[in-house]
Amino acid sequence: MSKEEKRPKQLKALLKKDLKLLLRKRVAIFVFGGPFILMFLLIGLPSLFSSQQTMVLLIYSDDSDYNGINIGASVLDNITYYFSFDPSIEVVQNVTSFSEVKATDNFGVYLPSNFSLLTFTGSPIYFTVDATQSLFSESIFNTIHAITQNVIATVLANRTLPVIQTIEEPPTSLPEEQLLGPKAAAVAMPLSYMIFLLIALNSGSYSNIGFAREKRMRTMEILLSYTKKHSHLVISKTITSLVASLGSTLSYILGIIAATSLTGAGTEGIFEIFGLNMQLLNAGDIIIIFIFAVTALLISTLITMAIDCNITREASERLSPLLSIGLAMFFYFVALSNPLSASTTLVINPFYWCYRLALLLISGKFSIEIIIYLSLIIGLGGLLIFFATRGIQKEKSLYLE
Amino acid sequence: MMSELMVESNQLTKYFNSLLAVDKINLEIPKGKIYALLGPNGAGKTTTIRMLLGLLKPSSGSVMVNGKSVSDDPKSIRGEIGILPQFSAAYYDLTPMQNIHFILELNNISYDDVSASLAEYFRTLDISYELLNKPFSKLSGGEQRSISFIMAAITNKEFLILDEPTSGLDIARAKYIRSIIKYLVEQQGKTILLSSHIVSDLEELADYCGILKKGKLIFQGRKEEIIELYAPDTQDFEDAIVNAFGVKTTNSQTFMGGNK
C-alpha cells in the first residue's frame, strides 16, 4: 500500500473516530438534543399556558356624523379590516359603550362623539388606547394611529368615505440600502443572526471533541505517532466540529418549529425562523448565505483549534470559546446597529468579512472589496490551519496540559 | 556494540528552555532484541522515547530509526513504530473493540487479517466478548492496560515501544504479557524498547539495558554486564540497577533497618 493510498484512509479513520466520539450518548444529547429541548422549553412551554389565547382588541366609536360624514365609523371599519389579517389579534369586537372598554383588560380603542367634527375643524383629536408600555402594544397603538391618520387624510381630501383597501408600501430606503439594494437589506439581519447563532452553538460542543479533550484523555501521543500527516488531525476535528454545529443549529430550528406548532401559530421552517424574505431572494442567494454562514463557523472552529493546539489545555478551554463568542457578539451587536454600512470597528473581525462578502455578492456589487475580503478569509483560514498543525507538531501539545 | 541496529542516536540532546532533559546520548538498540531503557523518575526516558517517535525535535544530535533519520525528517517515521504509552492509549468513551478498530484503521490493517491473532490475544489475556463491548472507562485498570497492550501489538510494527507494559496488571496477566513480548521478539523478530520499573519484567525480558540518569546515558550493554559492573558481589540484577541509579544499598537505606 503506497503512502498516497494510505493517507486518505487515515483521514477516514480519524473522522470515523471523531464522529463516534461526537455521537456518543452523553455528548449527542448535549450537542443535538440540547438546543431542541432548550427552545422547546423556552418557547413551547409558556405557549401552552398563554399563547393559545390570541389578543382581543375592543373598539368603540361614540362619533356622530358631521356634514353627513362619519369618520369614526370609517376608522373602525378600517381597523377591523386591517387586523382581520393578523392571526395574533382576535377579530376586533365592537362594544356599545366606553365603560365596556374600561371594564376589560383587553386592548381598547375609544373614539369620542365629536371625532368627525374635530377632524374637519382641524382641532386636536384624542383617541384612547388602553395599552401597556410593552413594545407589542405600542406597535398596535402606532398601527391604529396610522390607520386613523390615513382615514382622516383621505376623508379631508375627498370629502367622501374612503374605500377600504390594502396598500403595500416599500420601506424607506437608507443610503446604504440604496447602494447595496433591497436583497442585501433583506439578508443583512438574518445573516448576522445566523452567524452569531452558529458560533454560539458551536463553542459549547467543541470542548467535547477538540484537541483539549485529546490532551486530557492523553490520547495525543497515539494520534501523533500513528498519523502520517498531522493536518489530517486538524481537518478531521474541523469537519466533526462543523457537523456538531450544524446539527445543533438544526436541533435549535426543530425546537422552535415544534414549540411554535404548540401555539397553533406554526412556523413554516428555517427561512421564517431566520427572517429570510423568500419572495425577494432566490436559490442562489440562499446558497451564498449558507456558504458564508458556514465559512464563519469554519473560521470560528479554526480559531478555537489554533488556540487549543498552542497553549495549555486549561487555558485553551477557557480562552478559545471566549474569543470566538466575543468576536461573534461584537460583530452581531455592531451589525445590528447598522447592518448595511461598511464598519470600521469590525474591519478586523473575520465574521464581518464573511458577512460583508455575502452581502456584496448577493447585491451583485462586484468590486475590489470582494477580492479583499475573499483574500482575508482564505489567508486567515490557511494561517489558522498552519498554526494548529504546527502547534500539534510541537512539544506543546504533549507537555502543555 | 551491535551489528544491525534499529535505533542509533548520535549525541542526542534535548533542552526544554534551559532545562537539560537529555544529554548527548548515543543509544544503540539492536534489531530483534529487547532493550530496556531504565532510569529513575525524571531521568529523561519519556523525552528520549518521544524523540525516537519523532514527536519531539532534538535540540542537537541525531537519531536514526530503522535507517531513517528521525531528527531530519520526523514525518518519515510516523506510523512505523507501535507504541504503548505510559498512560492509557485508548478512548474512554469508546469500547475496547471500537478502540482496536480505530487503531487498525489508522494503520490500514484489515480486521479480517488479524482476527485470529486478536482472538488469541483475548484468550491469553482473559478478555471476554462482553468486556470488549463495554465502555473502556468501565474496565478495571488491569483490563485497560491489557487492551492498550493489544492495541500496540496488533499494529504489527517491526519496532515496538512499550512504556510500563505490565504496570497495574495482576500477576497472571503480567506473566502472559511477558510471554507475548517474548513471542513477538523470538518468533516474529520484532525489536522492543521497554521502559519499566518492574524488576521481574526486566530480569525476564531484557537482552540489553540502557541506564539514564539526569539525562545522561551512564550505561549501555548486555544485562549480564550491568550485574558485573554494578553488583559484582551480590550478582543481583535489582541491586545492580539500584546501584546504577546511585542509591546505596546499605541497611541505612532500608525501611526501619529491615531486610532489603
Say what the ipTM of the complex is: 0.88
Least confident of A11-15, A110-114, A224-228: A110-114
What is the pLDDT at residue A172? 55
Domain span at B40: 5-80+157-257
Contacts of B254 (CB under 8 A, 6+ apart): B260
Average pLDDT over residues B214-222: 91
> B183 and B194 share a domain?
yes
Average pLDDT over residues A344-361: 88
Task: Mark which of B121, B136, B156 sits at the end of a domain.
Answer: B156
Report which of residues A214 and B220 the model is more confident about: B220
For residue B165, is it within any domain?
yes
> B148 and B163 share a domain?
no
Which positions in chain B have a beta carbon within 8 angstroms of at least one beta carbon in chain A? 16, 50, 53-57, 74-75, 78-79, 81, 83, 85, 87-94, 98, 102-103, 105-108, 155
What is the pLDDT at residue A70? 83
What is the pLDDT at residue A401? 44
What does the alpha-carbon distance between residue B247 and residue B253 come to, in Å, rounded to a whole number?
Answer: 8
Interface test with A, best of B15, B76, B106 (most A CBs within 10 A): B106
Least confident of A6-10, A301-305, B143-147: A6-10
> B76 and B23 share a domain?
yes
Asked whether residue A146 carries a pLDDT value surpassing 90, the answer given is no
Of B78, B102, B108, the CB nearest to A9: B108
> B98 and B72 share a domain?
no
How many secondary structure helices (H) and strands (E) does chain B include? 9, 11
To the nearest whole Å, the CA of A10 is away from the closest chain B CA by 5
> B70 and B27 share a domain?
yes
Task: Give domain limits for chain A.
Answer: 10-48+174-399, 56-158
Residue A258 amino acid letter: A
CATH number, domain with residue B41: 3.40.50.300
> B118 and B60 share a domain?
no
Average pLDDT over residues B64-69: 91
Query: In the CATH scheme, what is the code of domain A56-158?
Result: 3.40.1710.10
> B75 and B167 share a domain?
yes
All residues of chain A having their beta carbon less than 8 Å from the beta carbon of residue B78 are 224-228
All residues of chain B having their beta carbon less than 8 Å from the beta carbon of residue A398 are 50, 55-56
Asked whether residue B214 carries a pLDDT value surpassing 70, the answer given is yes
> B184 and B135 share a domain?
no
Chain mean pLDDT for chain B: 88
Least confident of A300-309, A340-349, B26-35, B108-117: A340-349
Structural domain tally of chain B?
A: 2
Task: Mark which of B156, B173, B190 sits at the end of a domain.
Answer: B156
Average pLDDT over residues A306-312: 82
Note whether A233 and A392 are within 8 A (CB). yes
Which of B115, B120, B122 has its CA nearest to residue B146?
A: B122
All residues of chain A having their beta carbon less than 8 Å from the beta carbon of residue B108 are 1, 6, 9-10
Main-chain phi, psi angles of A109, to 5 degrees? -120, 130
Average pLDDT over residues B106-132: 92
What does the alpha-carbon distance between residue A147 and residue A79 come to, in Å, rounded to a whole number?
Answer: 7
What is the pLDDT at residue B37? 92
What is the pLDDT at residue A61? 81
Asked whether residue A346 carries a pLDDT value surpassing 70, the answer given is yes
Could B53 and A225 be called an inter-chain contact, meaning their C-beta atoms sit closer than 8 Å?
A: yes
For A281-301, the pLDDT digits (tens) are 788 888 898 899 889 988 988
Asked whether residue B181 carries a pLDDT value surpassing 70, the answer given is yes
What does the alpha-carbon distance between residue A206 and residue A225 come to, in Å, rounded to a whole number?
Answer: 23
Tell me which chain A residue has its CA closest to the CA of residue B83: A222
Average pLDDT over residues A30-35: 82
Asked whether residue A340 carries a pLDDT value surpassing 90, the answer given is no
> B223 and B109 share a domain?
no
> B165 and B55 share a domain?
yes
Chain mean pLDDT for chain A: 76
Task: Mark which of B156, B172, B205 sits at the end of a domain.
Answer: B156
Residues counted in chain A: 401
Average pLDDT over residues B228-237: 87
What does the alpha-carbon distance between residue B167 and residue B87 come to, in Å, rounded to a whole number?
Answer: 10
Asked whether residue A53 carries a pLDDT value surpassing 60, the answer given is no
Average pLDDT over residues B84-107: 90
Average pLDDT over residues A301-316: 82
Tell me which chain B residue has its CA closest to the CA of residue A232: B106
What is the pLDDT at residue A135? 41
What does the alpha-carbon distance between residue B3 and residue A240 come to, in Å, rounded to a whole number?
Answer: 48
For residue B98, is it within any domain?
yes
> B150 and B163 share a domain?
no
For residue B74, is it within any domain?
yes
pLDDT bin (cut points 50, 70, 90) of residue A101 is: low
> B53 and B169 share a domain?
yes
pLDDT bin (cut points 50, 70, 90) of residue A375 is: very high
Contacts of A350 (CB under 8 A, 6+ apart): A296, A299, A303, A327, A376, A377, A380
